[in-house]
Each structure stands twice: as C-alpha cells, then as structure tokens.
C-alpha cells in the first residue's frame, strides 16, 4: 500500500464508538484535511470503506461528505466514485475578515443549506437578519436547485414581558410603551415570516421542517448564529442614538442596527481557538434554551 493510500484509509478496523453521528464523522475527516494528512487532489476511501472505519451506516457517511462538500473541502461527492479532497480556494482562516451581518450572513446560511440536514440556532433581538438571509436558499429550493431532507431552526429572542435595555428612550421612561410596542411588533412580524416561509417547504417540497422560538428574560448584547454544528457567527450589538417617528411622536432613542453589526466567523476545525469557540457557543446556547428561556408565542396584542 502506498503512503498516500495509507493516509487516506487510516485504520480499517470498525470503530467501537456506538451511535457515532454524521457530524462526528465530518469532524474527523475535516481534521485530516486541514492537518494535511489528506492532501488536495487525493482520493477519499469509498463510502462503504468509511462506513466500516467509523462503524456507521452509509447514510451517515453521505451526510458527512456532503457537509464537507458544502464547506468546499471535498469535490465530486456522489453515490458513484469516491470523492476527492478539494484544492484550497479563497482566503485562509487566518485572513477571513469580519463583515457586516447583512453581507456575511446570507452566503453562510446558503452554504449551510447544502447539507441534507440543516441545523440553525440563532440568538438575536428581532430575527430580521436571519429572515432576510434565509431568502436565497429558499429561492434555490423553490427553483429546484436545492432540496435538504430536514431543516431544524431554533431562535432565542427577548421576552415581551421584560424592560428592554434597548431599544429605549434616551431620556425618561417609555410612556405609553410606544418604543417597546414598536420592537415587539417587529419581533413578532419577523418571526412569523421566518416560520411561515420555512414551514411552507413542508407542503411544497416535502421537507421535514421544525421551527421553534423561546423567550429570554434579558436583552442580548450580542447576536449569535450556529450553523450545522460546525460554524459560529458572532456579532456585538453596538448602540447608537437616533431619532424615530413613532405614531405622532418623535423620540430620541438608544438602538442597535443589527444588520450592520460586524459578524465574526468561527469554524470548527480551523484551529483550537475556532473549534473551542464553536463548541462553547453550542453549550451556551443549549444551556439558555433548556434552562431560563420559556415558550414564546408570536402573537400580537398586549
């Protein structure tokens, strides 16, 4: 056996790890690619060989390979001949720069929809950025260019019952609750659009879709998007003072333009720092989801 083939195949014994997920298979293969053990142009083992090595079904292998293809780490992923390691393209992780949310989020969401099982977790103030960013993959699905088998979306938003840190009047209290009502209307409207657009995929394309919202008892000072278990996008809400016309009244308020917040990308496998950030972000999100958050209903009214 050649050294190249040995590097590709690693060990051929089935793993003893039970219930290994397709994400774990993708993580291991990603590490081999990024470490150089698998080099650009090198042929991967067959799906059957990888299934034996990792002790999983071939379906899990296919899902893992498609995730790596969506990350542009593999090419020629199909049910036929083995995939190949893709040549490097674009900037290296060390040179990836943060971009405004409006610019950076949409292409990453579109890439996430290349996977057969799309998983998106979001913590934000109104979900407007996520609703806009998801428009392109929805267009591709309706055009027949994409068809994931399953889409799971979880969104954490501030509760309607708290006094928000922002948006808030610069001086005095929110008499009449006009500022709070304006934010609540935006939160509910954007969430309803996001849920409707995604759930429509179930009836129009037979895609298994689940969209859930939960309410936080605090105003999040940051926004966070977690994509397919392997990527975290993080941004600070930076407050500015601006004047807003609300009804018949003109108010000076503290507010954050979330679509312009600079989005910092972190990807599992791009070094210890990025991998740890993604892992800890998932732990943090899940802890909020499972402990202090409550069911959120996107209903109008008091």
Domain locations in the chain as residue ranges: 22-85, 99-295
Predicted confidence at residue 77, as pLDDT, reads 84
The arithmetic mean of pLDDT across residues 220-231, rounded, is 96
In the predicted structure, residue 134 carries a pLDDT above the cut 90: yes
> Helix, strand, coil shares of the chain as percentages rounded to 5?
40, 25, 35
User: Higher model confidence: residue 176 or residue 240?
Assistant: 240
Residue 126's Cβ-count burial label (10 Å; 0-12, 13-18, 19+) is: buried
As beta bridge partners, residue 249 has 246
User: Higher model confidence: residue 302 or residue 233?
Assistant: 233
In the predicted structure, residue 299 carries a pLDDT above the cut 80: no
CA distance 260 to 236: 10
- The pLDDT tens digits of the residues spanning 228-272 come to 999 999 999 999 998 888 777 788 899 998 888 999 999 987 788
Q: Is 217 helix (H, G, I), strand (E, B) or coil?
A: coil
* Band of residue 17 on the pLDDT scale cut at 50, 70, 90: very low
What CA–CA distances, in Å, run from 150 to 143, 183, 208? Answer: 18, 31, 5
CA distance 151 to 161: 30
In the predicted structure, residue 82 carries a pLDDT above the cut 90: no
* CATH number for region 22-85: 1.10.10.10
Q: 104 with 129: CB under 8 angstroms?
A: no
Q: What H or E segment, with its residue span, contains residue 294?
A: strand 294-295
Tokens of 280: 């800890």
């Amino acid at each position: 056996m050649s050294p190249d083939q040995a590097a590709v195949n690693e060990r051929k014994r089935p793993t003893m790890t039970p219930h290994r997920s397709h994400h774990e298979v993708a993580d291991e293969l990603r590490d081999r690619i990024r470490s150089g053990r698998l080099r650009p142009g090198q042929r991967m083992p067959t799906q059957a060989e990888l299934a034996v090595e990792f002790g999983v079904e071939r379906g899990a292998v296919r899902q893992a390979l498609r995730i790596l293809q969506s990350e542009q780490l593999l090419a020629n992923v199909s049910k036929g001949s083995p995939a190949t390691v893709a040549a490097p393209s674009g900037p290296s992780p060390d040179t990836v720069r943060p971009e405004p949310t409006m610019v950076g989020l949409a292409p990453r969401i579109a890439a996430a929809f290349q996977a057969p099982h799309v998983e998106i977790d979001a913590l934000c103030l109104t979900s407007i950025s996520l609703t806009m960013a998801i428009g392109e993959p929805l267009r591709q699905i309706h055009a027949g260019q994409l068809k994931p088998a399953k889409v799971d979306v979880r969104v954490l938003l501030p509760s309607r019952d708290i006094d928000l840190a922002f948006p808030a009047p610069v001086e005095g209290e929110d008499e009449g609750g006009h500022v709070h009502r304006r934010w609540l209307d935006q939160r509910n409207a954007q969430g309803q659009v996001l849920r409707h657009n995604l759930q429509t995929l179930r009836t129009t394309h037979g895609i298994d879709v689940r969209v859930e919202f939960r309410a936080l008892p605090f105003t999040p000072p940051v926004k966070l998007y977690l994509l397919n278990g392997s990527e975290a996008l993080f941004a600070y809400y930076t407050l500015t003072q601006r004047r807003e016309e609300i009804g018949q009244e003109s108010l000076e308020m503290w507010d954050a333009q979330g679509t312009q917040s600079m989005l910092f990308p972190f990807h599992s496998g791009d070094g210890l720092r990025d991998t740890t950030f993604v892992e800890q972000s998932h732990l943090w999100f899940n802890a909020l989801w499972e402990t202090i958050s409550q069911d959120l209903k996107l209903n109008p009214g008091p």
